[in-house]
Structure 1
Amino acid sequence: MSKGKDSTTNRSVMYISSVIIVLFVIFGMFLPKEMGKVANDTFAFLTTDFGWLYLLSVAFFVVFIFGIAFSRFGNIKLGKDDDKPEFSNFQWFSMLFGGGMGIGLVFWSVAEPMMHYLTPPMGKGATPESMRTAMRIVFFHWGIHPWVIFAIAGLALAYFQFRKDLPFLISSAFYPLLGDRIYGPIGKAIDILAVFATVFGVATSLGLGSSQIATGMQYIWGIQATPTTISIVIAVMTVLFTLATISGLHKAMQFAANIKVWLSIGFMVFIFLFGGMVLILNNFTDTLGAYLQNFVQQTLWMGNIDWLKGWTVFYWAWWIAWAPFVGQFVARVSKGRTIRQFILAVTLLPSGFSMIWLSIYGGAAFNLDKLANGAIQAAVKTEYTTAFFALLKQLPLYSITAPLAILLIIASFIGAANSATYVLAMLTSNGDMDPGKNLRSFWGIIQGAFTIILILVGGGTAVLSILQTVSIVAAFPFMLIMIAMCFSIYKALAQEKPLG
């Protein structure tokens, strides 16, 4: 295979993608209503006519990735045959667990179960049955399916980089189909679409995170959470993570990561102990059984199209948009592992962690809501972004835990944005695993500006809608790329002689 042709001189991906995204930002600044209309029209078209394709595609990804894991290809190394893992099992598992903790999990951990409980996709709301349905749906959205999507992107990046010495780019996964054309216009187009998917997916997370910070400050201290306030939060966060990126403050970023991990663990233990341990454990056991029993049916269920547009299709698009980003992370830490080890660890460990997290938060929310005569569901009905804080208000030490919750969201925000900045810089520098500081700072500023534009376009009452819209629109072409990627991966593996 050819190795890194034009790897240092060709910056077309950076120039083309950055120009288009900057133009998009300018368009949103000066013509926000027009941009909103175009985005919403595209959203309506894709979800109405192609919602089924998102569901079928992810179902195909599930069958494909586990088929590869348990086939004769499972023993192939992600690296040379004599490569050893770079990290111990404990370190590797810890990093995969860490990859499962992000803004989205903090944002939706209370809000989503309560929203499905009140307005389920089938049956009557606010009943014991709708509570069980709500938790099963949450497991479905945050369980194995998203990590299957990430595993495909990660498998492609790790296999073609570590075993075939190709650039650390999405386009490299298409070498078996395209050959040296991955270095030409077709390959560049694939990488540009990966950049778009990453920018839109991260913007969705940053928008949700900043909204939660702003509404949290309103809930705790009475500071009004207007679109302007949310934009200021994003701007401040952008300055922080961009300065950290260009200053090389690795200790500061590691400190933020440590805060996120320890606060996440602390909140889980605290809520588990004081939120109703027995109910949480019962809830986890019952929901896990229902999730496994309904796995196939839920994967392909289209019984409520309008509900699917706002939830499952949005989530699948969001995860697809995050695939280049999270795929890069899981690939980087998995060199030397076999394909079977990689797939099983990446799909099962973080999803298992997410289910435990959601059981604790969701179970405690239902328990405490009942004890507080509907206080949490009332908060969700008023402003769903305050759900986490409404839960904490029902627990001891609220004056301490509420500001710590803001700190957790900020740490998750900064960690995700910093990592995404690094990945975008890498994607636009031909897979350079140590991209320049100027490029990193550029993408940091672009991410912040892009997210602010989306918030301002969406307005105070439609932030979720605009974020759902851009995720689904951006992920659609990349979803098609991922389907083709699966066939390319299979073609390359079919030419291998498995170890063992």
Structure 2
Amino acid sequence: MSNLLKINTTFSRGVTIPSLIFIISICILSAVYPNVTEDLLNTIKEFIFVNLNWVYVWSVTIFVIFLVYLMFSKYGNIKLGKNDSKPEYSFFSWVSMLFAAGMGIGLMYFSVAEPMQHYSNEIFSGSHYVNRAKSAQLYTFFHWGIHAWAIYGIVGLSLAYFSYRYKLPLSLRSCLYPLLKNKINGRWGNAIDVFALCSTFFGITTTLGFGVVQINSGLQILNIVPDNSFTYQVIIVSILVTLSIISAVTGVDKGVKLLSNINIVSVVVLLLFVLALGPTVYLIGSFTEGLGSYINNFFNLTFGTHVYEEETLPWFYNWTILYWAWWISWSPYVGLFIAKISKGRTIREFIAAVLILPTMFNFIWMSVFGNSAIWFDLHIANGALSTLADNPDALMFRFLEYLPLTRVISFLVIAIIIIFFVTSADSGIFVMNGIATRNASVSPKWQTAAWGILLAVMALFLLNAGGLTALQSMTLVTALPFSVIVLLFIVSLVKALTIDRNYYERDFSVSTVPWSGKFWKERLKNIVSFNDRNSIDHFIETTVKTAFLELQGEFAGNGIEAKINSSENPKRIEIEIQYDRVNNFVYGVKNQPRMVSDYLLNEDNLPDFGENRTYYPRSYFGDAREGYDIRLFTKNELISDVIKHYERFMEIISEERNEMFISSNANRRMK
């Protein structure tokens, strides 16, 4: 009986229990006392937005500037992982997944609604319709552009760097390692992860609730369901969450990647349809002009606080500041997911892809849908779409009525919303389970399913009781402290990247002795010859092994235990000195193939060789620095080379500033 009562779980109690208590308490409070809770949280939110909006403005500005600096700096070539790491996903799959997780349903929900709301807003209504249309596009670009993705990018980069470069857990606590050191494993670390888990849950729950309402509204307009009742919302949530759980259980490599790839293709098809059958010339021209306007006004928008335009301040609080708070509140979830799929990318590649590609797609998408709606409203609908600006649930589907094949395209839109819904939910479930288990490599499937069920129950509970708005306000309030935490991530990154760069740029001691001319004939013969696999295997088995054995004996004479590891296919051998608290010292040599240019095959002034592949003994090191060809080394010169690397290693580990870099990496083992 005791065995039956044991539950197989990988949950971290210090993270999971406080998170569940807080999540359930807030959800019950929002559902039982929706008006009181909403009023209280709105009061707090209004105070923050009015008096502390500058915190959001400066934080987001710093995020953008810092990422752009990193992209063009000397740190851009640093990989998110070992120096020899390779990306786990193709570029298309990678971009598809980060895009689907980062924006998701919001693109469908706001692509028509936001431009129309700006276009019909009172603060713009006094101006000519052309100026209103331009302002609508400009501010939509601003809210969905580089600034939003910079927030996601800074969190994702910090997580990926400290996880894959420093071998720390894929957890927000790891991003503060340079500042907190081993304290990240205690209460401070648990508090950060609890915050991330609750923020992720609240964000996905509110998106889930509002997404279900939009799907239900679309089905009602298409006469598939008779009304927008709670009964149909329960059915929709049950189906979608079930799909999300199935996708999450299958893992990122299967479910999430497949759905993201399908979704990006479907979105592009829908985009091209509206572009081709809408006011095409107008859309292309307005996109071009809108992009130029965004670039020209970039700094004014970035630093703008509307302090001299008091009549626009309420709009500024309810749009720009709300968006910055919303993106920040979502950044733990999106950042964790982006980091999860970005191992092996360089910092420059990561930033360029995260900042530029989704931003450009968002601009094109918002231009096509938003400007089409404005054009239809002005030339065909006689203002009918403007009157629906405050009803975003139905606005997208009413907009589609002015295009051919309305019913077919409406079904496609619903399908895309559903897939966006599932990709957001399944990646969210995956991320929440990772936070709750402190990134356990394998977890029981019931845990993944449990998060999905909890999401569905709480979303329906709040939807029925009218508590979703209160929960949304709670999410926005939590963005303020997290913006400060993300600023600390930047401090940690600067400190870590400086040490990282200095570590790999550290040169050898001046005591390094260059070649003498004693063996010049043998060296010349090796330089002009091409070696086959067997000859290099022989070199490794004789010269290299003999050198390592002599070194092993000398180390032992000085009280240091050195191991010699070897393997076949390809041939390799290494000398390793193991440590408990710092990285192991490793110097190895492996048989490395290299292709030879076809031009040299027929060169008369070189020795003949039979194939266009040659081999050479390449050195490698425990910290994945770049190795080199050692075939011209004698035994004693190879011993000298190992010693100079060991001297460099001892100098680095003896310096206090390198402590966090050398003690956090997992010790390397030969594969």
How far is 1:473 from its partner? 1.4
Q: Match of 1:265, SS?
A: helix
Equivalent in the alignment of 2:496: 492
Equivalent in the alignment of 2:332: 324
How far is 1:248 from its partner? 7.2
- For residues 240-299 of structure 1, the C-alpha deviation after alignment (integer angstroms, 9 at most, x for no partner) is 423554577986666644542232112101000011111110110011011111111112
How far is 1:186 from its partner? 0.5
- Select which of 263, 284, 294 maps to 1:281: 284
Equivalent in the alignment of 2:106: 104
How many Å separate the matches in 1 of 2:148 and 2:254? 30
How many Å separate the matches in 2 of 1:217 and 1:207? 16
How many Å separate the matches in 2 of 1:456 and 1:211? 11
Confirm or deny: 8 A CA contact 1:228 1:456 kept in the other structure. no
Equivalent position amino acid for 1:490 in 2: V
List gaps (5 residues or longer) in structure 1: 1-6
Q: 1:248 to 1:343 in 2, by over 3 A?
A: closer
How far is 1:341 from its partner? 1.6
1:297 aligns with 2:300: yes
Q: 1:100 to 1:423 in 2, by over 3 A?
A: closer
Equivalent in the alignment of 1:471: 475
How far is 1:16 from its partner? 1.1
Q: 1:243 to 1:61 in 2, by over 3 A?
A: same
Q: Match of 2:410, SS?
A: helix
Q: 1:229 to 1:414 in 2, by over 3 A?
A: same
- Select which of 145, 148, 154 maps to 1:143: 145
Equivalent position amino acid for 2:278 in 1: G
How far is 1:27 from its partner? 2.3
Confirm or deny: 8 A CA contact 1:168 1:432 kept in the other structure. no
Confirm or deny: 8 A CA contact 1:118 1:126 kept in the other structure. no
Equivalent position amino acid for 1:217 in 2: L
Q: How does 1:53-92 map to 2 (within 5 A)?
A: 53-92=55-94
Q: Percent identity?
A: 36
Pick 1 or 2: higher relative contact order, CA cutoff 8 A, min separation 6.
Answer: 1
How far is 1:208 from its partner? 2.5
How many Å separate the matches in 1 of 2:492 and 2:116? 41
- Select which of 355, 359, 362 maps to 1:351: 359
Q: How does 1:176-325 map to 2 (within 5 A)?
A: 176-221=178-223, 223-226=226-229, 229-230=232-233, 233-246=236-249, 256-303=259-306, 304-325=312-333
Per mean C-alpha deviation after superposition, the further-off stretch among 178-187 and 254-263 is 254-263
- Select which of 127, 130, 133 maps to 1:128: 130
- For residues 27-62 of structure 1, the C-alpha deviation after alignment (integer angstroms, 9 at most, x for no partner) is 233333332232222222222222221122111111
- For residues 426-478 of structure 1, the C-alpha deviation after alignment (integer angstroms, 9 at most, x for no partner) is 0110122544322212221222233334434547xxx6x54652331132222
Note the aligned Cα RMSD (angstroms).
2.6
How many Å separate the matches in 1 of 2:301 and 2:122? 14
List gaps (5 residues or longer) in structure 2: 1-8, 307-311, 506-671
Equivalent position amino acid for 2:227 in 1: Q
Q: 1:120 to 1:168 in 2, by over 3 A?
A: farther
Equivalent in the alignment of 1:3: none
Equivalent in the alignment of 2:652: none
How many Å separate the matches in 1 of 2:471 and 2:133? 26
How many Å separate the matches in 2 of 1:477 and 1:281? 41
How far is 1:63 from its partner? 1.3
Equivalent position amino acid for 1:367 in 2: W
Equivalent in the alignment of 1:441: 449
1:386 aligns with 2:394: yes
How far is 1:132 from its partner? 0.3
- For residues 87-144 of structure 1, the C-alpha deviation after alignment (integer angstroms, 9 at most, x for no partner) is 4445444544555551001110001001100006556267110100000111111110
How many Å separate the matches in 1 of 2:251 and 2:159? 25
Q: Match of 1:78, SS?
A: coil
Confirm or deny: 8 A CA contact 2:140 2:366 kept in the other structure. yes
How far is 1:386 from its partner? 1.4
Q: Match of 1:205, SS?
A: helix
Q: How does 1:441-460 map to 2 (within 5 A)?
A: 441-458=449-466
How many Å separate the matches in 2 of 1:284 and 1:339? 30
Larger radius of gyration: 2
Q: Match of 1:168, SS?
A: coil
Confirm or deny: 8 A CA contact 1:25 1:449 kept in the other structure. no
How far is 1:408 from its partner? 1.5
Q: 1:382 to 1:32 in 2, by over 3 A?
A: closer
Confirm or deny: 8 A CA contact 2:203 2:329 kept in the other structure. yes
How many Å separate the matches in 1 of 2:457 and 2:425? 13
Q: How does 1:340-419 map to 2 (within 5 A)?
A: 340-374=348-382, 376-378=384-386, 380-381=388-389, 383-419=391-427
Confirm or deny: 8 A CA contact 1:200 1:474 kept in the other structure. no
Equivalent position amino acid for 1:369 in 2: D
Q: 1:490 to 1:435 in 2, by over 3 A?
A: farther
- For residues 147-173 of structure 1, the C-alpha deviation after alignment (integer angstroms, 9 at most, x for no partner) is 111111111111111111000101001
Confirm or deny: 8 A CA contact 2:31 2:466 kept in the other structure. no
Q: 1:44 to 1:215 in 2, by over 3 A?
A: same
Q: Match of 1:290, SS?
A: helix
How many Å separate the matches in 2 of 1:399 and 1:318? 33
Higher strand content, 1 or 2:
2
How far is 1:347 from its partner? 0.7
Equivalent in the alignment of 1:480: 484
Per mean C-alpha deviation after superposition, the further-off stretch among 126-135 and 24-33 is 24-33
Equivalent position amino acid for 2:476 in 1: I
Per mean C-alpha deviation after superposition, the further-off stretch among 63-72 and 134-143 is 63-72
Confirm or deny: 8 A CA contact 1:310 1:468 kept in the other structure. no
TM-score (normalised: structure 1): 0.90
